[in-house]
Structure 1
């Protein structure tokens, strides 16, 4: 093992110069610095673009936090209250909190950050907000109509609270000045940042003094850095790397369930996949557990419904599971008029059933899953062309209506309450990371009722109904549930995986004796 970090990073930079650009004057190479490597580039300073990086590195904070079950916890807001009609929320700002520039956190500063976030594309647009203002030590949010998951929005990274000095002309973010346990000391988008412990932090002080973040898109690069001792925490490993690193004496591999699902999206509005029976047939042709075991090397993660039981409120235990039954798939195709041609491909009205599946390599498992799906669907007579492109190709094809199939991973708890993401993805016919051309009035009614319901029993019944409608219509077809994986240096203790992928957990970790 290479134990000198300077040498390790020189090695990586030489081997992967197109990915990593490391300078000799940066603290990345110094020992006693906790280095994090992940695939996510730093797109800029704005919270709507890269807020999740600063949140995961615990540089910035939001008004609310969440526990392991997604329930709201006090953070920069120490308590909250909602009016009887659900339209006025009062959040009391925690006293004694300092921004990294030494100024005090106030209700005015918090309201300003939220109002700035409102003007941009982000989760706050899910709630119909009439006004956000400061009254004494409270932030007041007035809604046009009730929105139950508002607290979940206020825990999202795009709603982080920054100091007044962080904003420039037209409220553009010019500096990242947060309140977190770590203070930014270096920022070089799109690849790296460095931070140090903020001694004026209002909460428990971390034991790790300095940390860095490096964006490395290629899985091979991250694996090499794990093996060589070039970083303390490597986030998101592909299945072959997990097996390889589990044999290493230098790192620990930790895996944990997260509310991310691999889904196959089809065009529900036009083309061959418009009939629900065709989408059901595609689903029946998929051997999910085989993909989970052979491709993901994670048995028992084949998705029998949209959500696994780690999101208990959204997992319907009474729902008949999605099954593998190629004979039943063939019967459904046949009933829709598709007959096998001389080349084995299904035909109807002189046209072969040939579909183009878009996917991307940012998540290295996706092209492998796409290849497996291609082979499985070929067995029932569907010819699939796999196109590995940039992730942006999927929303682009959705927008122009040319999308036939798309394979991607979707985190339905980007906002801690999955209802918010489902509302954006599936509501009113779907969006670019949701269905295309799908319409189900019963689904829309259930979502609307759930947003207004105050009855926990009714809420659960509605969640079960929503999941069941997705299971029947399959506007997106669940393939596999995710297990997140990280590699952690052996001299680090306290590492874990945040089930909501909000933090790398720096404040919980420490150097071992």
Structure 2
């Protein structure tokens, strides 16, 4: 059976299962075009609370989002996505920096930035957001968060009223970009962090209760500085299984979903639901483990890069909901797409590369050997990103054709396994490669000796030198030129294989408005989210 046939079979299975669930629970009207579920609104003239339930595949410890404390791992993503926290600056729809909790700024010199804060902003604790409160937050951030410390390079912070002056240890052209990263959500350090990882932010919603990996309860921030939030109560439910998420939205258990399997999309392409989609720099890519003897062989890395069918993955397994990748960034970036070159899908070419490097199938079992060892690739990935297991299966099938055995380990425990360099050869993950709108981010996080998630311990003298220049360059055109050179360096080494860029979609009931996909993938539950009156 072909992959396409499997997808179609799964779609039919989803429909049958959903109908069974609905019939069994008396919720048939919620599964078709009949009566709407009443989560998202209240009748006129009543005091019924306006509630909203959001299903998300990614809010869990597996994705380093165990809570909403932005100073903890990648939990800032949950903090900003669910309307709890806000940053000093944010991104427009065109990924341009604009003030948010800040209202103005001035770059005094290469090391000094002066930021003026909005007036009248309160934390959900009731405390005023002053310059001193922002100073306390940022100082704690760089004290406990290694990635933020390396990104921001803060030397000193001084305040006077609503003015915050930041001095960096070296020129930091992208300081405002990094202050817009989810870890930069401004929280009240006097209020502290609860045992459950709840913080007091400035956003339209207040975190009231949290069970890590299960759900988050939010209530409206009655004193929100940016307008009237649309719902009284919101529940974010972690639903990592795609089939379960599909049935939850069809049955009316949830009002909207993030991370829906592409195979389920046709079930919601009707007047009862709304799609919000946009192209993002979220990229599905494979890290090569340079501690692995088999991956240290350049021929093996090259053959893997040549043996992954990116177009087939996007068009067949993703149903066209993405774009095949060349490098780190999509074509929409001036320094992405056609600006760089890499290996093309070529199974015969991959076979030749391996043959010339001494990898041959002497025993005729279909797997090549060299020095008495089979060409086996241990492929580590995780299931909460629905597309990653599909990518693993696709790579397993095509690489088998060139004589590689791919052993897939798709597990929620991937974070602890990837920390053991003896336990894997290729690690496939997904990330937004340019969440700050600037090209430097991916390299500083993944490719340098100092990078916090250089999972494969990759090193390049050339890349380190290029980054030294990038770090001090304020001119955006030159930064783009450097980004191209840096991409080409890692592509020439086949240190990473970039497979696809994601077209991100959120699906909501037609009774909901204001759930809008954004290119940086940060902003989801906002003050504009509301029931349709």
TM range (shorter): 0.7 to 0.9
Q: Is the contact between residue 40 and residue 512 of structure 2 (CA under 8 Å) also seen in structure 1?
A: no
Select 2:408's aligned residue among 386, 410, 419. 386
Counterparts of residues 272-311 of structure 1 (less than 5 Å): 272-298=294-320, 301-310=323-332
Query: Helix, strand or coil: the match of 1:400?
Result: coil
* Cross-structure match for 2:29: none
Deviations 1:286-337 (A, max 9, x none): 2111111121112662223221123x14315343354111111112112211
How far is the alpha carbon of 1:478 from its aligned partner?
0.9
The 1:270–1:230 alpha-carbon spacing in structure 2 relative to 1, beyond 3 Å, is: closer
The answer on 1:117 being equivalent to 2:141 is yes
How far is the alpha carbon of 1:469 from its aligned partner?
1.4
The 1:55–1:192 alpha-carbon spacing in structure 2 relative to 1, beyond 3 Å, is: same
How far is the alpha carbon of 1:449 from its aligned partner?
0.6
Query: Helix, strand or coil: the match of 1:450?
Result: helix
How far is the alpha carbon of 1:27 from its aligned partner?
11
* Cross-structure match for 1:160: 185
* Cross-structure match for 2:249: 226
The 1:64–1:250 alpha-carbon spacing in structure 2 relative to 1, beyond 3 Å, is: same
Write the distance in 2 (CA, Å) between the matches of 1:337 and 1:64.
54
Query: Helix, strand or coil: the match of 1:166?
Result: coil
How far is the alpha carbon of 1:144 from its aligned partner?
1.4
How far is the alpha carbon of 1:368 from its aligned partner?
1.9
* Cross-structure match for 1:211: 234
Q: Is the contact between residue 292 and residue 424 of structure 2 (CA under 8 Å) also seen in structure 1?
A: no
How far is the alpha carbon of 1:357 from its aligned partner?
0.9
The answer on 1:267 being equivalent to 2:297 is no
Q: What residue ranges of structure 2 are gaps of 5+ in the alignment?
A: 1-14, 16-20, 27-38, 43-47
Write the distance in 1 (CA, Å) between the matches of 2:51 and 2:397.
46
Write the distance in 1 (CA, Å) between the matches of 2:322 and 2:83.
33
Write the distance in 2 (CA, Å) between the matches of 1:444 and 1:430.
11
Q: Is the contact between residue 398 and residue 436 of structure 1 (CA under 8 Å) also seen in structure 2?
A: no
The answer on 1:413 being equivalent to 2:434 is yes
Select 1:457's aligned residue among 477, 483, 487. 477
* Cross-structure match for 2:4: none
Q: Is the contact between residue 90 and residue 140 of structure 1 (CA under 8 Å) also seen in structure 2?
A: yes
Select 2:107's aligned residue among 82, 105, 111. 82
When the two structures are aligned, how many residues end up with a matched partner?
Answer: 487
Write the distance in 2 (CA, Å) between the matches of 1:370 and 1:32.
42
How far is the alpha carbon of 1:128 from its aligned partner?
2.5
Write the distance in 1 (CA, Å) between the matches of 2:155 and 2:493.
36
Q: Is the contact between residue 259 and residue 412 of structure 1 (CA under 8 Å) also seen in structure 2?
A: yes
Root-mean-square deviation over aligned CA pairs? 2.9
The 1:421–1:457 alpha-carbon spacing in structure 2 relative to 1, beyond 3 Å, is: closer
Counterparts of residues 47-126 of structure 1 (less than 5 Å): 47-49=70-72, 50-84=75-109, 86-126=110-150
* Cross-structure match for 2:526: 506
Deviates more, 1:248-257 or 1:444-453: 248-257
The answer on 1:336 being equivalent to 2:357 is yes
Deviations 1:184-216 (A, max 9, x none): 344444433333333432223334443222222
Select 1:472's aligned residue among 492, 502, 511. 492
* Cross-structure match for 1:38: 56
How far is the alpha carbon of 1:76 from its aligned partner?
1.2
Q: Is the contact between residue 326 and residue 337 of structure 2 (CA under 8 Å) also seen in structure 1?
A: no
Q: Is the contact between residue 258 and residue 500 of structure 1 (CA under 8 Å) also seen in structure 2?
A: yes
Write the distance in 2 (CA, Å) between the matches of 1:31 and 1:316.
48
Q: Is the contact between residue 208 and residue 509 of structure 1 (CA under 8 Å) also seen in structure 2?
A: yes
How far is the alpha carbon of 1:447 from its aligned partner?
1.4
The answer on 1:317 being equivalent to 2:317 is no
Write the distance in 1 (CA, Å) between the matches of 2:524 and 2:377.
39
Deviations 1:31-86 (A, max 9, x none): 731221112136235322333222112121111111234332111111112232x2
Q: TM-score, normalised by structure 1?
A: 0.87
The answer on 1:256 being equivalent to 2:281 is no
Q: Is the contact between residue 316 and residue 467 of structure 1 (CA under 8 Å) also seen in structure 2?
A: no
Q: TM-score, normalised by structure 2?
A: 0.84
The 1:411–1:47 alpha-carbon spacing in structure 2 relative to 1, beyond 3 Å, is: same
The 1:32–1:299 alpha-carbon spacing in structure 2 relative to 1, beyond 3 Å, is: closer
Write the distance in 2 (CA, Å) between the matches of 1:429 and 1:61.
28
